[in-house]
């Protein structure tokens, strides 16, 4: 009974994961239409490709890992397609950076893990070695929502935390946690249990702040006279990738100092800005973008203080 139930739960998990894997299709369809990646970043897809590739390898090594292998194998194919499209249509500077990351993480690191596992590690330790790597990577990616959760609390707004993304994080992590308990796989269970807790926290925050009105950003000058920046509307695209900041009114402070534009290239400087990967599936791109917004606000405050 436990085996059949675990198979049913695993199938449900596969369906949910595939839905998340296919969510960027609309984004990349737009890229194909305009033949440009605009402000999109390739890092989330590269790290998700690494994650799904490692979990696919784990599923191959695991005698009971058929469902893990199939869902992550499909996810790896989707991510490879996304990365390929990005490399074709990205500007040259982004193309070079993305290509280097792809070579280092998805070819070099992943290839090294395979070689090390097959030829340098004892048979009885192979599954444990790969499982630990997969769990560590998944936990690190599940921790990325902490950034956007902090932003929600600070801004008292859920504009930076799309409901459906949070809901699918919660649902996906819960399903795979149940599956892990049924098959007694701690490498799957531990990261997904953490993801489930973080998913619950995001839904709680959403319920707390969903009715809060959004306030304009205020910047105070050091000399004491408070200057209110004309209201800025931040429009996020459906999946958070390539979101654009649009100034509806005056872009300048009263003394003529312009607010800095979002610099999402800073995503490359800190691994913690990686958009979270939903374990065994996709990512959270909004976290990285939201963190960039926070940094821009802080930079504006420092700059205005120097005027």
First to last CA, the chain: 71
* pLDDT band, residue 297 (cuts 50/70/90): low
pLDDT digits 0-9 by tens, 240-286: 444 443 444 444 444 444 444 444 444 344 444 433 333 344 344 44
Residue 145 predicted with pLDDT over 60:
yes
CB atoms within 10 A of CB 233: 12
Return the closest-CA partner of residue 283 out of 50, 37, 31.
50
Q: Model-level pTM?
A: 0.67
Half-sphere exposure of 71 (CA within 13 A, CB side): 26
What secondary structure letter does DSSP report for 273? G
Distance CA 52, CA 49 (A): 5
Return the structure tokens found at 184. 């007694």
Q: Are strands 226-228 and 218-220 parallel, antiparallel or unpaired?
A: antiparallel
Return the structure tokens found at 162. 């799309």
Residue 307 predicted with pLDDT over 70:
no
Q: Among positive and negative, which fits the CA dihedral 121, 123, 125, 131?
A: positive
Q: What is the mean pLDDT of the segment spanning 288-299? A: 49
pLDDT digits 0-9 by tens, 23-56: 889 889 999 999 998 878 888 889 889 999 999 9
**Domain ranges for the chain:** 1-307
pLDDT digits 0-9 by tens, 84-100: 999 999 999 999 999 99
């Amino acid at each position: 009974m436990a085996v059949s139930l675990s198979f049913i739960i695993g199938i449900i998990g596969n369906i949910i994961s595939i839905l998340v894997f296919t969510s960027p299709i609309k984004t990349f369809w737009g890229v194909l239409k305009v033949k440009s990646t605009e402000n999109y970043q390739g890092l989330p897809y590269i790290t998700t490709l690494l994650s799904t590739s490692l979990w696919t390898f784990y599923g191959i090594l695991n005698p009971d890992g058929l469902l893990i292998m199939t869902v992550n194998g499909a996810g790896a194919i989707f991510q490879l397609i996304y990365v390929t499209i990005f490399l074709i249509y990205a500007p040259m500077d982004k193309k070079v950076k993305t290509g280097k990351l792809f070579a280092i993480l998805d070819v070099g690191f992943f290839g090294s893990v395979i070689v090390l596992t097959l030829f340098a590690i004892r048979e009885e330790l192979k599954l444990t070695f790969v499982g630990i790597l997969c769990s560590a990577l998944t936990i690190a990616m599940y921790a990325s929502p902490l950034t956007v959760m902090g932003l929600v609390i600070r801004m008292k707004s859920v504009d930076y935390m799309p409901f459906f993304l949070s809901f699918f994080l919660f649902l996906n992590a819960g399903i795979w946690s149940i599956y892990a308990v049924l098959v007694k796989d701690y490498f799957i269970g531990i990261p997904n249990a953490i993801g489930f807790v973080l998913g619950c926290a995001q839904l709680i925050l959403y319920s707390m702040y969903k009715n809060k009105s959004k306030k304009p950003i205020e910047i105070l000058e050091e000399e004491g006279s408070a200057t209110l920046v004309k209201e800025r509307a931040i429009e996020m695209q459906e999946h958070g990738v390539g979101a654009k900041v649009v100034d509806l009114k005056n872009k300048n402070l009263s003394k003529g100092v312009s607010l800095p534009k979002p610099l999402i290239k800073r995503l490359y400087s800190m691994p913690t800005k990686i958009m979270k990967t939903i374990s065994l599936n996709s990512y959270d791109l909004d976290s990285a973008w939201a963190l960039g917004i926070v940094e821009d606000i802080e930079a504006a405050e420092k700059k205005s203080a120097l005027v």
